[in-house]
Amino acid sequence: MESEASSQDGKHVWLHKEDAALVECLVEMKIANKYVGDNGLKPSFLQYLEMMIIKKLPRCGIKGNPHIQSRLKMLKNSWQVVYDMVQGSHISGFV
C-alpha cells in the first residue's frame, strides 16, 4: 500500500484532501457520539479514525500512531493560537 502523499525523512506530508478527510471523520465521530468521552476522546479512537480515513482515502497510508496523533496535536496547537488571537487574552490591537 503506497501513499499518494510524498514523505520527507520518513515523515508523512499531509495533503489538503487528507486534512479534509480527517476533519470530516472527527465531525462524524462527534455526531455519532463514538469514542467521545466526557474529558475528550476515548482510548483507541486513533484506530477508529485510521479505519474511517482508509475508507475515504484507501491508498493514503495514514496510520493512527504516529500520523493522526501528531496531526491532531498540530491542529490543536494551531487552533489555540487563532482562538487566543480572536477570543483570548491576546486580542489587544488584533480586532
What is the Cα–Cα distance from 69 to 46, expressed in whole angstroms? 7
* Confidence (pTM): 0.75
Domain locations in the chain as residue ranges: 7-86
d(CA 81, CA 88) in angstroms, rounded, equals 9
Q: What is the pLDDT of residues 65-79, one digit of tens each?
A: 999 999 999 998 888
Distance set, CA 3 to CA 39, 56, 61 (Å): 33, 14, 5
- What is residue 26's three-state secondary structure? helix
Residue type, 91: I
pLDDT at 8 over 80: no
